Amino acid sequence: METFEISVPCHFGIEAVLKKEIYDLGYEITRVDDGRVSFVGDAEAVVRANMCLGTGERVLIVVGRFFASTFTELFDGVAALPIENYVRPDGRFWVTKATSVKSKLFAVPTIQSVVKKAMVERMKKAYQKEVFKEEGCDYPFRIFLYKDEVLFTLDTTGVPLHKRGYRTWTSKAPLSETLASALIDLTPWHPDRIMLDPFCGSGTFLIEAARMAAGMAPGMDRHFTCEAWDHLIPKNLWQEIKEELLSQVNADVETHLYGYDIDPGVIDIARKNAKNAGVDHLIHFQVRDVADLSHSKKYGFILTNPPYGERLLETDEVYELYRTLGEAYNRLDSWSMYVITSFEQACEAIGRKPAKNRKIYNGMIKTYFYQFPGPKPPKRRQGDGSFSE
Ligand SMILES: C[S@@+](CC[C@H](N)C(=O)[O-])C[C@H]1O[C@@H](n2cnc3c(N)ncnc32)[C@H](O)[C@@H]1O
């Protein structure tokens, strides 16, 4: 089978998590850039990456890399690439997104139109045709310029991978599914341990954790742009891999997942989303103020995304909320806590120094992932998520 260079963009700050996911799927990493991991794989790799990666945003086939600091160089660079190997003569092809960072060419609409013209020129020569009706499948291209190096890619995904399909309803400031998945991977949480989100909103952390526990591949319930293509990816692969992934699901797995929020409407949303995701029976949602947070078991994990301030509340209220979270955490014997926030005074208000802290971009917002690991549990495990000593 033909091999491609495949490039997967991700949130800035979680490249190492995505790299491990790709490595665990069995592929060789070729390059890691800020917000992007690249690897080599065939058509099967494109299908597996789309269906199985929890932390990537899209699966892009690299059509070419070259340098361009003028529009003529950009046109010539694209026209020299084998576009016809990717786009069928009746295909609808366009540059769906252009990004330019620290490059001489930065006018995005012009970049898009020059690249489209270069692609048409290439297609005319390759197919010996003057007119392309573009009535067939979609071939959306994405182009990134960084320090004048052009990365020209074909998007196989379409609707981004963070849209797993289960979150029909969202709360006020939801975390993206891909970021939630990456943050879970950054903790030592394991499906047989307790996870509790006291500010659960639409339930993203818990739904992602429940799907992980049940062995559900993140993208196995949705569709991708490249499913319609009839030449690059054999059609039978989709069904074969989906059947393989379905056979690995254990929806009756025992879990210890708790989602609380002060807002009853939000808890309602979380329950609906969990039902959509097929994991409502694996999560216990409840309306509860963080001030009333308690748990009888030891060695659990708090993983949470409290209100940030700039989005939801005034600074004083936010400070008070983090102070209350700190007090609640003090009452939880031997627990670990992981908090993603952009609130600068979070640790001061919680009243603890984090053992680790990681800078992560949640969209355009710079956030920190504060880590307060608790003691490791003893070996003997009770089967209900707790531990005997
Ligand atoms: C940033 S949102 C969480 C978003 C969530 N991670 C998601 O993906 O949807 C913060 C949540 O904290 C909740 N909240 C605010 N004050 C609270 C309190 N005192 N106790 C519990 N929840 C509270 C809000 O209702 C809101 O849903």
CATH code for position 17: 3.30.2130.30
pLDDT at 170 over 80: no
Condensed to tens digits (0 to 9), the pLDDT of residues 214-253 reads 999 999 999 999 999 989 999 999 999 999 999 999 999 9
Residue 266 Cβ < 6 Å to ligand 1:
yes
CATH of the domain at 325: 3.40.50.150
Cα-based torsion angle of the residue sequence 109, 111, 112, 117 in order, rounded to the nearest 10 degrees: 130
Residue 16: closest CA among 144, 186, 258: 186
Q: Is 79's C-beta closer than 6 angstroms to any atom of ligand 1? A: no
The boundaries of the domain holding residue 9 are: 4-155
- 150 with 278, same domain? no
Distance of CA 261 from the midpoint of ligand 1 (Å)? 6
Residue 197 domain-assigned (yes or no): yes
pLDDT value for 389: 43
Task: With respect to residue 337, please indicate whether it lies within any of the assigned structural domains.
Answer: yes
Same domain, 359 and 326: yes
**Residue minimizing CA distance to atom 25 of ligand 1:** 263
Report whether pLDDT(51) > 50.
yes
CA-CA-CA-CA torsion for 113, 114, 120, 125, nearest 10 degrees? 170
CB 67 within 8 A of CB 12: no
Considering the domain architecture, whether residues 151 and 206 belong to the same structural domain is answered as: no
Domain membership of residue 274 (yes or no) is yes
Is any ligand 1 atom within 6 A of the Cβ of residue 259?
A: no
* Cα 177 to ligand 1 centre (Å): 16
Q: Are residues 192 and 317 in the same domain?
A: yes
Q: Residue 89: is its pLDDT beyond 50? A: yes
Q: Is residue 328 part of a domain?
A: yes
Query: What span, in angstroms and rounded, lies between the C-alpha atoms of 252 and 126?
Result: 54
pLDDT mean across residues, the chain: 94
pLDDT by residue (tens digit) across 117-158? 999 999 999 999 999 999 999 999 999 999 999 999 999 999
Ligand 1 centroid–CA 200 distance in Å is 6
Residue with tokens 């909320």: 321
Four-point Cα dihedral 134, 138, 139, 145, nearest 10 = 100
Three-class SS state of 389 = coil
- Residue 103, pLDDT > 60, answer yes
* Ligand 1 pocket mutation, candidates 199, 205, 283, criterion most atoms within 8 A of CB: 199
Does 230 reside within a domain? no
Indicate if 211 and 283 belong to the same structural domain: yes
Same domain, 288 and 148: no
Asked if pLDDT for residue 380 goes beyond 70, the answer is no
State whether 10 and 139 are in the same domain. yes
Q: How many domains does the chain have?
A: 2
149 and 181, same domain (yes or no): no
What is residue 365's predicted lDDT score, i.e. its pLDDT?
Answer: 86
In a domain, 358, yes or no: yes
In a domain, 169, yes or no: no
Residues 136 and 284 in one domain: no
| Cβ of 199 less than 6 Å from ligand 1 | yes
Please tell me if the CB atom of residue 225 comes closer than 6 angstroms to any atom of ligand 1. no
For residues 109 and 199, state if they share a domain.
Answer: no
**H-run or E-run covering 141:** strand 138-146
SS3 content of the chain, % helix, strand, coil (to 5): 35, 25, 45
Q: What is the pTM of this model?
A: 0.94
The residue with greater pLDDT, 84 or 173, is: 84
pLDDT score recorded for residue 362: 83
Which of 164, 171, 204 is the pocket-test mutation for ligand 1 (most atoms within 8 Å of CB)? 171
* pLDDT tens per residue, range 255-311: 999 999 999 999 999 999 999 999 999 999 999 999 999 999 999 999 999 998 655
Do 184 and 43 sit in the same domain of this protein?
Answer: no
277 and 363 belong to one structural domain: yes
Question: Could you read off the pLDDT of 318-362 as tens digits, one per residue?
Answer: 999 999 999 999 999 999 999 999 999 999 999 999 999 999 988
For ligand 1, whether the C-beta of 313 sits within 6 Å is: no
Report yes or no on 235 lying in a domain. no
Amino acid identity of 126? A
Quote the pLDDT of residue 315.
77
Please give the DSSP secondary-structure letter assigned to residue 387: B
